[in-house]
């Protein structure tokens, strides 16, 4: 493939397939974060939660060799992180930003220590079993569409299947209504008989579970290894996706693919030898996010009104 | 069954209660991390002794502790200025890199045959500091502008700017500022603009003196000047401040510039004092650990430097233990974060007290003790 052909269909298929593939883990984490933020909790701690989920999944895969069990272990690690975070956010009523930032530092320390504790100090990194790309009869063989849509590992389809599910729960169920009420106007929700604390625990735990699975996803479908640097900003990317997606699952999925596309485009451009600085493309989604929240294009009514505000029932 | 603890109408705010609960939280954090030592077969007390003797027992180790403390303290001071003024800035990872890049550019311009070569080296060093402070001030000031002019949420915006800063520096060292050779890094800055070493036989550099001076200045600004008073009032209650004639927007903007400048000086100190060339990932999370130090100091500028030295020392001690005893150095991060988390949690404890009726043995549990006036 010469440099002159870099906009050919091979390039297009590689790029789009990688866009979809790279959007999976951050989409999963962002879907959970939507629940936390809709309940009024800015869960900055998902960065650390993803790391601990990745570790739990890695260790489970190392011990059992079963990828699905390992993914569940990641979710369990996320639930544990979520319990601690929710306790800090809701019961202790600490500043959410403070608790989240400090938790992220704790998670880096815990991940490094527990990894060495489990595998010994001198252990060389070992690869674990990974999800294989699924093969669909006929569909996977299609030109362009085959690699783009029908060549991914199972967790990716899980992440995208959760988009309509998250939308349904948030906007079509009583639980979703109560959760949103807790994040929009906690006092009114309280007066209406909704337990704001319970809703915020639920939102934080959902976000913890999803972030833990997202970490497992990175290990089990992308890397196959664990390192302390395996999670470098995916949690913050998820925060950006929630904002760019205006706190809604479907638009968040689009935003996740946009982030994935920027990431994939810089990889492909390097591969095909185009002379654009990759960092420019990588920073584009962040700049877009900043513009989206800056208020340059009007205030966003989508942001939950009570986001980041601890609520003390009285 | 009489409950052992009862809720107070408000938190116990006496200094003794605060000190007691803080000590309780620190001890609990030490105990939890000690359990992690024990699980790895180390005697926790001996491990703590080793940790702190490495960091503070020798001149060499103490020098390393000061080196680690310098960026932590400068970022913590930036946090103090910003957060005290009600500006919840979290963009210090980016500021650090922007400051390091600006210092590199200025320092490299003073190399042989370049634009600033005729300048005496102290002036070139001062210029590098100034460039760094100005770059960081502009970097965070933009976020301040977005907050004050457009009403955006500075927490989210500043978190996003971190990645723009990190990626920007990655671009610089793989493109315009890249030195010849295989690695993406800048040229080494000339040694006469390095921060001088200040303790013989150790790596401690003049950045620590700058830090102490900065802490004093921040304290003086916030506690002894009308401007600092306005900053703090703007942070405590913007509506009241506005009513009192304080231009809250301009004060917050000023705080954002100062905070960004301090965060950038952290990058400058790491570059001209330790790394001496711009490399990717030289921050290593210091932008967030610095915030943790500021929180531990309860946003008091004078408490920042000693606590930063303590936290820097923990990192140095833990690194040494990893080399010696094979205990993972990440235990330092656990200890550093647990202390703050548990102190936060302990604040809730101050809402409770031991049930007074437990101490009135046997008699008169229902009402007030005889001879004492009934409560209001």
Residue from the list A115, A240, A296 with its beta carbon closest to the beta carbon of B160? A240
Which residues of B fall within a CB distance of 8 Å from A83? none
Which residues of A fall within a CB distance of 8 Å from B170? 279
Residue from the list A99, A103, A109 with its beta carbon closest to the beta carbon of B331? A109
Local structure of A127: helix, strand or coil: coil
What's the CA angle centered on A121, arms B53 and B279, to 5 degrees? 75
Our CA dihedral for A125, A47, B28, B301, rounded to 10 degrees, sits at 120
Q: What tokens were used for A239?
A: 């925060």
Q: What tokens were used for B139?
A: 């970097």
CB pairs under 8 A between A and B: 134
Compare A40 and A233 and report the one with higher pLDDT: A40
Rounded to 10 deg, the angle between the B301-325 and B286-296 helix axes is: 130
**A96: closest CA of chain B, how far (Å):** 11
Q: How far, CA to CA in Å, does A22 sit from each of A147, A192, A274, B58?
A: 14, 42, 21, 49
Local structure of A153: helix, strand or coil: strand
Compare A99 and B119 and report the one with higher pLDDT: A99
Residue from the list B291, B330, B340 with its beta carbon closest to the beta carbon of A108? B330
C-alpha A49/C-alpha B170 separation (Å) is 26
**A25: closest CA of chain B, how far (Å):** 18
Along the 376 residues of chain B, how does pLDDT read in single tens digits? 678 888 888 888 888 888 888 899 999 999 999 998 888 888 889 888 888 998 999 899 999 999 999 999 999 999 999 999 999 999 999 999 999 999 999 999 988 888 888 888 899 999 999 999 999 999 999 999 999 998 888 998 999 899 999 999 999 998 889 988 888 899 999 999 999 998 888 889 999 999 999 999 999 999 999 999 999 999 999 999 999 999 999 999 999 999 999 999 999 999 999 999 999 988 888 999 999 999 999 999 999 999 999 999 999 999 888 887 777 888 899 999 999 999 988 888 788 888 877 777 655 544 444 444 444 3
Residues 6+ apart with CB under 8 A from B123: none
- Count of other CB atoms within 10 angstroms of residue B353: 13
Contact call for B348 and A228, based on CB within 8 A: no
Share of chain A above pLDDT 90, in %: 55
Comparing CA positions, the residue from A75, A81, A45 lying closest to residue A60 is: A75
Q: How far is CA B373 from the centre of its chain?
A: 49
DSSP state of A276: S
Contact call for A102 and B331, based on CB within 8 A: no
Q: Which residue of A has its CA nearest to B165?
A: A283
C-alpha A48/C-alpha A37 separation (Å) is 17
Comparing CA positions, the residue from A273, A166, A260 lying closest to residue A222 is: A260
**B192: closest CA of chain A, how far (Å):** 32
Strand-pairing partners, residue A133, are A153
Single pTM value for the model: 0.90
**Burial class of residue B211, CB neighbours in 10 A (0-12, 13-18, 19+):** buried
Contact call for B160 and A286, based on CB within 8 A: yes
Q: How far, CA to CA in Å, does A186 sit from each of A33, A94, A180, B362?
A: 18, 17, 9, 45
Residue from the list A106, A290, A299 with its beta carbon closest to the beta carbon of B157? A290
| B36 close to B334: Cβ distance less than 8 angstroms | yes
Contact call for A88 and B345, based on CB within 8 A: yes
Q: Which residue has the tokens 């800056």?
A: A294
Q: What tokens were used for A12?
A: 């297009």
What is the predicted pLDDT for the residue at B114? 85
Contact call for A279 and B168, based on CB within 8 A: yes
Strand-pairing partners, residue B354, are B5
Contact call for B326 and A121, based on CB within 8 A: yes
Which residues of B fall within a CB distance of 8 Å from A97? 88, 90, 155
| B305 close to B69: Cβ distance less than 8 angstroms | yes
Secondary structure of chain B in the HEC alphabet? CCCCEEECCCCCCCHHHHHHHHHHHHHHHHHHHHHHHHHCCCCHHHHHHHHHHHHHCCHHHHHHHHHHHHHHHHHHHHHHHHHHCCCCCCCHHHHHHHHHHHHHHHHHCCCCCCCCCCCCHHHHHHHHHHHHHHHHHHHHHHHHHHHHHHCCCHHHHHHHHHHHHHHHHHHHHHCCCECCCCCCEECCCCHHHCCCECCCCCCCECHHHHHHHHHHHHHHHHHHCHHHHHHHHHHHCHHHHHHCCCCHHHHHHHHHHHHHHHHHHHHHHHHHHHHCCCECCCCCCHHHHHHHHHHHCCCCHHHHHHHHHHHHHHHHHHHHHHHHHCCCCCHHHHHHHHHHHHHHHHHHHCCEEECHHHHCCCCCCCCCCCCCCCCC
DSSP state of A189: H
Q: What tokens were used for B84?
A: 């005290």
C-alpha A119/C-alpha A123 separation (Å) is 6
Contact call for B152 and A293, based on CB within 8 A: yes
Which residues of A fall within a CB distance of 8 Å from B344? 88, 92, 94, 98-99, 102
Comparing CA positions, the residue from A86, A243, A90, A249 lying closest to residue A169 is: A249
What is the predicted pLDDT for the residue at B278? 95
Domain positions in chain A: 24-230
Q: What tokens were used for A298?
A: 């009007």
- CATH tag, B63-326: 1.10.3470
pLDDT above 50: residue A1: no
Q: Which residue has the tokens 């506005």?
A: B242
Q: What is the ipTM of this complex?
A: 0.88
What backbone torsions phi and psi does residue B5 show, to the nearest 5 degrees? -120, 145
What's the CA angle centered on B156, arms B96 and B105, to 5 degrees? 20
Which of A17-21, A53-57, A171-175 shows the lowest per-residue confidence on average (mean pLDDT)? Answer: A17-21
User: Looking at residues A174-181, what average pLDDT do you find?
Assistant: 96
Which residues in chain B are classed under CATH 1.10.3470? 63-326
**A282: closest CA of chain B, how far (Å):** 7
Q: Which residue of B has its CA nearest to A283?
A: B164
First-residue to last-residue Cα distance in chain B: 26
Q: Which residue of A has its CA nearest to B146?
A: A294
Residue from the list B39, B285, B288 with its beta carbon closest to the beta carbon of A117? B39
Contact call for A280 and B347, based on CB within 8 A: no
User: Looking at residues A11-17, what average pLDDT do you find?
Assistant: 83
pLDDT tens readout for residues A117-151: 888 766 677 888 899 888 888 887 787 788 888 88
| A207 close to A46: Cβ distance less than 8 angstroms | yes
Which residues of B fall within a CB distance of 8 Å from A293? 152-153, 156-157, 160
User: What Rg do the C-alpha atoms of chain A give, in angstroms?
Assistant: 20
Q: How far is CA A145 from the centre of its chain?
A: 25
What is the predicted pLDDT for the residue at B189? 93
C-alpha A298/C-alpha B241 separation (Å) is 26
């Amino acid at each position: 493939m010469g440099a002159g052909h870099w906009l050919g269909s091979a390039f297009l298929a590689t790029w789009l397939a990688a866009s979809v593939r790279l959007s999976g883990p951050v989409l999963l984490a962002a879907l959970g974060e939507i629940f936390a933020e809709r309940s009024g909790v800015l869960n900055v701690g998902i960065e650390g939660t993803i790391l601990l989920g990745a570790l739990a999944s890695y260790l489970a895969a190392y011990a059992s060799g079963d990828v699905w069990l390992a993914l569940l272990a990641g979710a369990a690690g996320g639930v544990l992180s979520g319990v601690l975070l929710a306790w800090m956010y809701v019961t202790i009523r600490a500043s959410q930003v403070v608790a989240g930032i400090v938790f992220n530092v704790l998670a880096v320390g815990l991940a490094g220590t527990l990894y060495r504790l489990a595998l010994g100090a001198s252990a060389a990194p070992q690869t674990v079993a990974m999800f294989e790309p699924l093969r669909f009869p006929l569909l996977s063989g299609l030109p362009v569409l085959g690699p783009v849509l029908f060549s991914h590992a199972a967790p990716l389809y899980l992440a995208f299947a959760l988009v309509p599910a998250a939308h349904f729960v948030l906007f079509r169920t009583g639980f979703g209504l109560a959760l949103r009420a807790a994040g929009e106007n906690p006092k009114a929700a309280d007066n209406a008989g909704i337990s704001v604390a319970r809703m915020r625990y639920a939102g934080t735990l959902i976000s913890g579970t999803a972030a833990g699975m997202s970490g497992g996803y990175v290990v089990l479908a992308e890397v196959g290894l664990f390192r302390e640097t395996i999670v470098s900003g995916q949690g913050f990317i998820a925060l950006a996706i929630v904002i760019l997606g205006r706190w809604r699952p479907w638009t968040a999925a689009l935003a996740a693919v946009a982030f994935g596309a920027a990431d994939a485009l810089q990889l492909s451009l390097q591969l095909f030898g185009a002379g654009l600085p990759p960092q420019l493309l990588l920073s584009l989604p962040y700049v877009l996010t900043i513009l989206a929240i800056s208020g340059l294009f009007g205030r966003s009514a989508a942001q939950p009104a009570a986001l980041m505000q601890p609520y003390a029932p009285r | 069954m009489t409950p052992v603890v009862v809720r107070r109408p408000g938190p116990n705010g006496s200094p003794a209660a605060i000190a007691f609960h803080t000590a309780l939280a620190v001890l609990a954090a030490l105990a939890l991390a000690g359990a992690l030592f024990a699980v790895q077969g180390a005697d926790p007390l001996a491990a703590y002794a080793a940790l702190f003797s490495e960091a503070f027992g020798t001149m060499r180790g103490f020098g390393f502790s000061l080196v680690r403390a310098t960026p932590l303290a400068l970022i913590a001071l930036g946090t103090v200025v910003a957060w005290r003024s009600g500006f919840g800035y979290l963009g210090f990872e980016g500021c650090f890199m922007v400051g390091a890049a600006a210092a590199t550019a200025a320092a490299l311009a003073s190399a042989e045959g370049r634009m600033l070569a005729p300048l005496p080296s102290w002036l070139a060093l001062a210029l590098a500091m100034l460039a760094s402070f100005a770059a960081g001030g502009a970097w965070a000031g933009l976020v301040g502008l977005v907050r004050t002019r457009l009403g955006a949420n500075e927490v989210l915006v500043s978190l996003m700017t971190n990645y723009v800063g990190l990626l920007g520096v990655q671009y610089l060292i793989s493109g315009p500022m890249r030195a010849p050779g295989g690695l993406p890094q800048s040229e080494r800055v000339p040694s006469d603009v390095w921060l001088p070493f200040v303790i013989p036989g150790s790596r401690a550099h003049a950045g620590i003196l700058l830090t102490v001076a900065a802490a004093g200045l921040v304290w003086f600004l916030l506690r002894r000047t009308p401007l600092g008073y306005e900053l703090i009032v703007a942070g405590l209650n913007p509506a009241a401040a506005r009513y009192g004639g304080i231009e809250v927007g301009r004060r917050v903007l000023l705080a954002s510039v100062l905070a960004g400048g301090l965060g950038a000086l952290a990058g400058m100190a790491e570059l001209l004092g330790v790394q001496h060339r711009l490399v990717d990932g030289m921050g290593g999370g210091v932008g967030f650990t610095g915030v943790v130090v500021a929180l531990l100091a309860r946003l008091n500028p004078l408490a920042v430097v000693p606590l930063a030295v303590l936290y820097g020392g923990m990192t140095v001690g833990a690194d040494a233990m990893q080399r010696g005893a094979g205990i993972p150095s990440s235990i330092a991060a656990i200890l550093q974060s647990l202390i703050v988390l548990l102190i936060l949690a302990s604040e809730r404890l101050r809402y409770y007290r031991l049930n007074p009726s437990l101490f009135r043995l046997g008699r008169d549990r229902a009402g007030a003790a005889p001879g004492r006036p009934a409560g209001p």
